[in-house]
Structure 1
């Protein structure tokens, strides 16, 4: 990527769009691989340890944000709240995984929600987070909206779908490691249209009456993403 207009979208001298996409793809792969290994009866601490071991086997460089695995009622928690290490996944339950991993000097960040058992409302919740993410991404592609407009739109769409959007979760920058030196702030507070390959769109929703929610995040890019598969 060449020079960008806003300091919030600055990148380092080693930044590569191809490496950024590779980091994204490897992190999405890791989320799916870890999810396949999680079973009812496992607690959040065991799931986090499993995730770390899987990432090490995959050859990660490092973790750039803490591994988050949430089961059942803790799927309502926000990013900065601790996991509940003794919280056990039930036979009919919902969980999500959120990973921030460095691959080849670039930050991957991906998250998705999964259901064990046959609870159709939980299945609908997990699917709704993915669908809402795609709807908001389509808005970005078609209209070139500012980050703040995207989250206003997301809240309205979530309500229309029968879910509650957690507006404490507003997305963020990624880049060549470490992106934090740019002090970019949240996507939901960004006053310009986010550039491709630099921002994570995060969607976290809650069931309107039951004690659980769902989470989905991915890199905003103009190429085809897993959400469209």
Structure 2
């Protein structure tokens, strides 16, 4: 990718605001925590999705540019572009993740995290490792300023060393004032330069090699002083 297209890939729209983007992120992370607190064993996945949408709307957030997702159990291995198996019920010892992309006024939020109910060591480790891998990759990005391509290659290597498979169907993407798709639709994993802060979402989706369960974590790439 040549220099001009790199700069075009990271440009923003007229409503872009540092404070606005950080506030959208804060509201997104708060909504994830609120949704997770309301998810209980015995819930059907579709009901959890409807509940998540209500949480977002009640918080004054707009349902934005991709579907609100809550995925239970065996649906946690699926790429986001594939629909969940219907009717999956959260068990007493289970794993689930949340993936939301709300909009606050002109600014896009996007975030995801995984959670475990009950006692299951494998699920708990997978959820912890998805978040830990995100933070490790953010640290590598900050220290080494790798290209997006090299960042995901390194994530793949580290995930394998942890005993997981990295899902490349979730390769990261732009984030901006809404809608970022009019600016750039390419993935972070294809970006042939070091990504700038507050321009990209780093997505980490790891799966059990036997495809029984997975975990997801995503957040905006930010410098340390903004990552609170």
In which range does the TM-score fall when normalised by the shorter chain?
over 0.9
- Counterpart residue number, 2:178: 177
- Counterpart residue number, 2:67: 66
- Counterpart residue number, 2:227: 225
> Would the aligned equivalents of 1:45 and 1:84 in 2 still touch at CA under 8 Å?
no
> Would the aligned equivalents of 1:164 and 1:208 in 2 still touch at CA under 8 Å?
yes
CA displacement at 1:47 relative to structure 2: 0.3
CA displacement at 1:48 relative to structure 2: 0.5
- Counterpart residue number, 1:116: 117
- Counterpart residue number, 1:138: 139
Could you tell me the TM-score, scaled by structure 1's length?
Answer: 0.94
- Counterpart residue number, 2:47: 46
CA displacement at 1:5 relative to structure 2: 6.2
SS of residue in 1 equivalent to 2:89: coil
- In structure 1, runs of 5+ residues without a counterpart are none
Q: Output one character per residue of 1:64-119: Cα deviation in whole Å (capped at 9) or x when no partner.
A: 21001110011001111113331111110000000000012100000000000000
Whole-Å separation in 1 of the counterparts to 2:144 and 2:185:
22
CA displacement at 1:224 relative to structure 2: 4.9
- Counterpart residue number, 1:195: 196
Q: Output one character per residue of 1:8-52: Cα deviation in whole Å (capped at 9) or x when no partner.
A: 011011100111111111101101100000011111110000001
Whole-Å separation in 2 of the counterparts to 1:61 and 1:79:
20
- Counterpart residue number, 1:160: 161
CA displacement at 1:210 relative to structure 2: 5.5
Q: 1:120 to 1:208 in 2, by over 3 A?
A: same
- Counterpart residue number, 2:34: 33
Q: 1:104 to 1:51 in 2, by over 3 A?
A: same
SS of residue in 1 equivalent to 2:186: coil
What is the root-mean-square deviation of aligned Cα atoms in Å?
1.4
Is residue 148 of structure 2 the alignment partner of residue 128 of structure 1? no
SS of residue in 1 equivalent to 2:195: coil
SS of residue in 2 equivalent to 1:21: helix
Whole-Å separation in 2 of the counterparts to 1:53 and 1:112:
18
- In structure 2, runs of 5+ residues without a counterpart are none
Could you tell me the TM-score, scaled by structure 2's length?
Answer: 0.94
> Would the aligned equivalents of 1:171 and 1:199 in 2 still touch at CA under 8 Å?
yes
Report which stretch shifted further, 193-202 or 60-69: 60-69
Size of the aligned set, in residue pairs, is 223
Whole-Å separation in 1 of the counterparts to 2:89 and 2:104:
31
